Amino acid sequence: MSPFDLTIAQAAKALRAKDISAVELTTAYNGAVAALNPRLNAYITTTPELALEQAKAADARLKAGDATALTGIPIAMKDLFCTEGVRTTAASKILSPFVPPYESTVSAKLKAAGAVMLGKANLDEFAMGSANITSAYGPVENPWKRREDADAKLVPGGSSGGSAAAVAARIALAATGTDTGGSIRQPAAFTGLAGIKPTYGRCSRWGIVAFASSLDQAGPMARNAEDCAILLNAMAGFDEKDSTSAPQPVPDFTQALTRGVKGLRIGIPAEYRLEGTNPEILALWDKGIAWLREQGAEIVDISLPHTKYGLAVYYIVAPAEASSNLARYDGVRFGARVDGVDLIDMYERTRAAGFGAEVKRRIMIGTYVLSHGYYDAYYLKAQKVRNLILRDFSNAFGKVDAILTPTAPSAAFGLGEKMDDPVTMYLNDVFTVPASLAGVPAMSVPAGLNAEGLPLGLQVIGKHFDEETVFAVSAAIEQAAGFAALPEVRAK
Amino acid sequence: MAYSLEGRTGTWEVVVGLEVHAQVISESKLFSGASATYGGAPNAHVSFVDAGFPGMLPVINKECVAQAVRTGLGLKAQINLFSRFDRKNYFYADLPNGYQISQFAHPVVGTGTVEIELQDGTIKQIGITRLHLEQDAGKSMHDQHASKSVIDLNRAGVALMEIVSEPDIRSPEEAGAYLRKLRQILRYLGTCDGNMEEGSMRADVNVSVRKAGEAFRTRCEIKNVNSIRFVMHAVEAEALRQIEIWESGGEVVQETRLYDPSKGETRSMRSKEDAHDYRYFPEPDLLPLVLEQSWVDELAAKLPELPDEKRARFCDQYGIPFYDAGVLVAEQATADFYETVAKTRDGKLAANWITGDFFAALNRTGTTIETSPVSAAALGQLLDLIADKTINGRIAKDVFEEMVETGAMPADIVEKKGLRQVTDTGAIDAAVTKVLAENADKVAEYKSGKDKLFGFFVGQVMKAMQGKGNPALVNEAVKKQLG
Amino acid sequence: MSLDAATVRRIARLARIRVEDAEVETLKSELNAILGYVEQLDEVDVDGIAPLASVVQLGLRQREDQLSDGEIAEQVLANAPDRIGNFFAVPKVVE
């Protein structure tokens, strides 16, 4: 079997069986990265030497019998995780010279488990975007192609677009992502991957460049639910350095994969059947419902009445927090600086040159909604509606064990599309944002292809800290869907 | 007499409210494990959290919360079991995150009071509006380089308590008394060292003026005044400036000003001009601060005795005057020193010795109560030697001076120098006989009615006995022999 | 509510982002499009609803007061665009 077709679980088995060494596996992936990354632009920074070093250490651990399920597994690290000694840019010009002297908790856990880091994956600048087109290091190309139009470049979704493209194109075995309003789930859906945004508080945010603190969550992106479970096992856990980290025990998520859905009550929210939604998406959703019913789940119609306000809440709360979180990029202690005649001029020039258009827009919207005279009308109001959205989920979870929805309103679209105004782009997140606002876990699994041959995903939403049910339902869908399609551009 | 200022158009009243920033005594910073110690090499006591690095997150220091609660209890204030942190957003070179974590909407401590005493003995209550916890900023220095300012973040993130008073203060004297009292309470509580020179206590002074009976007029805020004397001066200077504006038909503009001690005036602070929209919002990296009443009760139970209570108790327990008690409780160390001396002895005598000879000696030798060569135990022993008549009061003064000079214990000095008081009536009688014989002419004068000479004979006898005679016995013997 | 050019400039100033004159109109229309979209919240009745700042329904965890960090000046300064000795350096500030 080609090393590029392996899942984490299979690769781990092969490594233990000495069918392949970690160095061989990493060398293969390093080669694939070198070959395909110039085209896909999935990585901002590649770290082949570091990867080889880590692979050697992994082989030693494998030999010593001290290996974990991730030892020797080559992964891509979203360039939002600070990595000690490895440049971390958040896809922004303003952080282009930044080399963190520390390692984020999540990446440190993966490192400790023996995972091999191939490089830092591209993303939308500061994770703000849904198409990975706002990166200061250029857009990422989706390795999937439309059947009829193989030349058109499609976006991989965002913001974890580099992670998604890398895993889909087999130039990483798996990847880390972060999700603030859909940044793991939507690109996973656009690239035929599984990806989970865990419960808010499940993974430490320490060392991850912050976008919107009350929403940001790290999570895995991989070829299937099982790989996601293996990764999340290592990524999750209480961290005393993050005050919002949950003091919750971490179960073995892989155990939940085979639970099945028999007897589970699955909620189908009426409000996600938005007018104008692509019929292919609705048809796939219906298929998903049928699969679950066939496997013994009880399908329950539910209502999440404030769903339609999710995006509006999100586009107030997230920019507000971002406007403050990004104030630290001022050219004083780290990052790029543009000189000015005085301190204020230096700030203004540094930030004007350092931030891209979308980031500036969001900082300005966030600044405005928090400013004197507008706070109550925008920010406070949004927080109240956010409470209503949380209540919607709490009420729903009184009746059901999980909720099934589409992940995104469309399949991957072309580079340059949906650019008429910022709001058109924002609408991509319509199905993913509510779970972010409520802090509940949500996973996208690939469930089929559209007529153009592009992957589509279904989203499974669970109760707070019940990722296990999310995995159980996702695995059931995955099994029923039997998704096996591969993207056009990939390492072979 | 209430303080007022005379203008061309009549009498003006001054209205002052103070916002005191008191640096919390703790090992580490409010939200990081870096040292909160003053000073240090530039940027030494700085973590990545304090420097606002990407992905860094705050974790609150429990001791800082406890210190705020203790202070709240000391200010007889309401302790809010639910409080919350907000971000105050503004850009400044020494504010690494571009926001300060503070408590805006829900402070940890609510309303309280501070009782001040004025020179004329008037007692006045000054209301406390609130106390909240927040981070200090770093330090910008503008005079180290020709074209650049340099930044040291050692102070960035150190816990501060911002203590806000009601606009109840009506004179520079009241402002001074309030600050001294607040500092005294903080020091007693051990929550802030009150050292204004090192900046661990700073005051923002809100000043306005009005005619009698008027509502408040526009106020100006004088930022970061770093001594009590300067606060008092700044209040007057700013009040006079505002009166001048009003009286010449102008309008006082609400603004932030700086006090320039060298010129004795305030001036507008341009750099803060457009920093007014702070865009406060709940700090999303922290959760609400929820306290248990039982924990607050525990802190309350362990609270030290505060100056007002101690003063009342000293008057009561040791029978000393209210004024003296005030002097003795001014500093915790003095109060402790006094109590050690007074506990099993004559409280009044102890108070007299401490406020008299002892304070004079500290002054003269430039020492403090902590570094004084005379310990409380030594002074106590001296008082014991007086009480058990081992030495008399006059000798005691000499012994004390010797103690100040050498640091020796009084009993040793008395022993070594043979200063023990003579109570042997035989020896005293002999000395009296000798003195009277040597001064037969004076004896004759005395007997013819010059009563005043009695003191002369006593003095001569004491002198003959090198001051060691028991004064009462000497008196008695002189009286007897003179018939 | 709709932003005018002056407000766009004021926000940019507050956010310390230099905006060239030529950018103001574009920014204005983009920001107004976003504000126009989020204004649909006006139709939601939030009477008696508390604002939600965090989905975590726990109180703040407090750490012990121990020295556990700092004394890493060189690392703290390593990424500085400009430094003088162990200080960060910025253009001179006039107070």
CB contact under 8 A, B91 and A327: yes
A177 vs A161: CA distance, rounded Å: 9
- Taking CB atoms within 8 Å and a gap of at least 24, the contacts of C21-30 are C27/A360, C27/A361, C27/A364, C28/C3, C28/C4, C29/A421, C30/A361, C30/A421, C30/A422
Q: What phi and psi, each to the nearest 5 degrees, are found at residue A310?
A: -55, -50
- Cβ count near B31 (within 10 Å): 28
Phi, psi (deg, nearest 5) at residue B413: -60, -45
pLDDT in tens, B308-318: 999 999 999 99
Strand A265-269 and strand A194-197: pairing? unpaired
Under an 8 A CB cutoff, do C70 and B65 touch?
no
The reported pLDDT for the residue numbered B338 is 97
pLDDT band at A420 (very low <50, low <70, confident <90, very high): confident
In eight-state DSSP terms, residue A272 is G
Q: Which of B43, B60, B271 sits opposite C95 (nearest CB)?
A: B271
Is pLDDT at B424 greater than 60 in this prediction?
yes
* Rounded CA separation A316/A298 (Å): 36
Name, in order, each residue with C-beta under 8 angstroms of B274's C-beta and a sequence gap of 6 or more.
C13, C14
The pLDDT value given to residue B394? 86
Burial B192-219 (b: 16+ CB within 10 A, else e): bbbebeeebbbbbbbbbbeeeeeeeeeb
Closest alpha carbon to B282 in A317, A417, A295: A317
CATH topology for B425-482 is: Arc Repressor Mutant, subunit A (1.10.10)
Verify whether the Cβ–Cβ distance A240 to C63 is below 8 Å.
yes
Comparing CA positions, the residue from A211, A208, A187 lying closest to residue A446 is A187
Residue of A nearest to B149 (CA): A343
The Cα A183–Cα A216 span in angstroms is: 9
Rg (CA), chain A: 21
- Sequence-distant (6+) residues with CB within 8 A of A24 are A3
Q: Is the pLDDT of residue C94 over 80?
A: no
CA dist B364 → B31, B382, B397 (Å): 45, 20, 15
- A327: contact with B, CB 8 A cutoff: yes
* B neighbour chains, 3+ CB pairs within 8 Å: A, C
Per-residue pLDDT tens for B18-36? 999 999 999 999 999 999 9
Distance from CA of A298 to the nearest CA of C (A): 28
Q: Is B274 a residue whose pLDDT tops 70?
A: no
Q: In sequence order, what E strands does A105-199 have?
A: 116-121, 174-179, 194-197
The CA distance from A239 to A61, in Å, is: 26
CB B108 within 8 A of CB B72: yes
User: Is C12 among the domain residues?
Assistant: yes
What is the C-alpha to C-alpha distance for residues B420 and B389, in angstroms, rounded to an integer? 9
Peptide bond before residue A410 is cis, with ω within 30 degrees of 0: no
Interface mutation vs chain A, best among B31, B49, B92, B279, most A CBs within 10 Å = B279
Quick check: C34 contacting B, CB < 8 Å?
A: no
Q: Which of B51, B57, B93 sits opposite A205 (nearest CB)?
A: B57
Q: Which domain holds residue C18?
A: 5-41
A247 interfaces chain B, CB cutoff of 8 Å: no
| Total number of residues shown for chain A | 492
Is there a domain that residue C57 lies in?
no
Q: Determine which of A79, A203, A343, A348 to mutate to test the interface with B (most B C-beta atoms within 10 Å).
A: A343
Residues sharing a CB contact under 8 Å with residue B81, sequence separation 6 or more, in sequence order: B290, B291, B292, B293, B296
Q: Do C30 and A361 touch (CB under 8 A)?
A: yes
Q: How far apart are CA A256 and CA A229, in angstroms?
A: 9
Q: Do C76 and B48 touch (CB under 8 A)?
A: yes
Mean pLDDT of B58-72: 98
Domain ranges of chain B: 5-297, 306-417, 425-482
What is d(CA B358, CA B342) in angstroms, rounded to the nearest whole number?
14
The interface residues of chain C toward chain A in range 4-33, judged by CB-CB distance below 8 A, are: 7-8, 11-19, 27, 29-31, 33
CA distance B314 to chain A (A): 47
Q: Is C56 in contact with A363 (Cβ distance < 8 A)?
A: no
Per the structure, how many domains does chain C have? 1
Of all residues in chain A, the one with the smallest CA distance to B282 is A321
pLDDT attached to residue B275 = 53
For residue A72 the two structure tokens come to 């020797």
| Domain-located, residue C64 | no
- B334 pLDDT above the threshold of 70: yes
Confidence of residue B271 (pLDDT cuts 50, 70, 90): low
Based on the number of CB atoms within 10 Å of its own CB, is B378 exposed (0-12), middle (13-18) or buried (19 or more)? buried
| B238, B41 contact by CB (below 8 A) | no
Give the Cα separation of B237 and B225 in Å (integer). 13
For an interface test with C, give the residue of A367, A374, A394, A420 to mutate (most C CBs within 10 A).
A367
CB contact under 8 A, B287 and C59: yes
Give the separation between CA A103 and CA A83, rounded to whole angstroms. Answer: 5
What is the average pLDDT across A340-361?
Answer: 97
Residue B270 has pLDDT above 80, yes or no: no
Contact flag A243-C61 (C-beta cutoff 8 Å): yes
Q: What is the mean pLDDT of chain A?
A: 97
Q: Evaluate if residue B2 carries a pLDDT over 90.
A: no
What are B's interface residues with A at a Cβ cutoff of 8 A? 48, 51-60, 87, 89, 91, 93, 96-99, 149, 151, 276-277, 279-281, 284-287
Q: How far apart are CA B202 and CA B24, in angstroms?
A: 12
Instruction: Give every CB contact of residue B101 below 8 A, 6+ residues apart in sequence.
Output: B30, B31, B58, B85, B86, B87, B88, B134, B135, B283, B286
List alpha helices for B6-135, DSSP H: 62-74
Q: Are the Cβ atoms of C37 and A335 closer than 8 angstroms?
A: no
Q: How close is the nearest chain A Cα to the Cα of B62, in Å?
A: 13
| Whole-number pLDDT of residue A25 | 98
**Strand pairing partners for A74?**
A116
Beta strand A174-179 with A74-78 is parallel
State whether B53 and A379 contact (CB < 8 Å).
Answer: no
Range in A116-130, A249-263, A344-358, B459-473 the model is least confident about: B459-473
Chains that touch C (3 or more CB pairs under 8 A): A, B
Please tell me if residue A353 touches chain B, with a CB cutoff of 8 Å: no
Asked whether residue C69 is assigned to any structural domain, the reply reads no
**Mean pLDDT score, B321-350:** 95
Q: ipTM of the assembly? A: 0.97
Closest alpha carbon to B199 in B237, B225, B179? B225
Q: Which percentage of chain A shows pLDDT scores above 70?
A: 100
